[in-house]
Structure 1
């Protein structure tokens, strides 16, 4: 349950102001059809984060626990710093309208998530908790918590969210996880 809850919270916070949330705003404004956009986000996120979770599990099987502890600790601290850097949306992420609303959302979100901080976090969390299902379910829920309101409420909430504060909280959580991992937290639990 811890893997699910931490994954949900971290991704929900990290996603505020992220380029995929900006993409959700753009798609909502362009197509004005929330249901296929929300379903497209869900499908793309499940596919992307399932691959990331599998990668995290594979990495765990390839390195020793001591090396994994250092890799994860440094990765979480790196994620803390990366979370503080604002994202920008590329024009190419929104030029896929020939696939329809649902298809455009799937392709755009899947591609926008490649190498994104939430995908990297999913790899690290899956490696940390050794529970791919709980992590993927949590990171997917976190993406939905951040992006569904962006699709449904759009411009009405875009300017009311204190993005810097939310990013600061997410960065602090990543930093605490990184430091705790480096200090050996969870060793007795098998992390």
Structure 2
């Protein structure tokens, strides 16, 4: 029931738009999508499963540690660069009110489904 109520609370929170004053704009976003993503991705990914898996694989295949780290980095770049590019290009065209409403409806649906089952 805690998870179900958490989903419903998240649905309500999704309906509240973010507020950010122009003078509070993060510095990285003024330099563009690449710099903002580079900084935030570095902070968000510190100690995540990908880094732990990379460290484990590098320890397991110690003669190929550089190849393991390069492969992990390349894989993350292949997965994320197109998303950042497309997001930077198409974000002004996305109706965020619709996205907010759809995500709130999805969270509410998941909350109700969790409570019922």
Pair member with larger Rg: 2
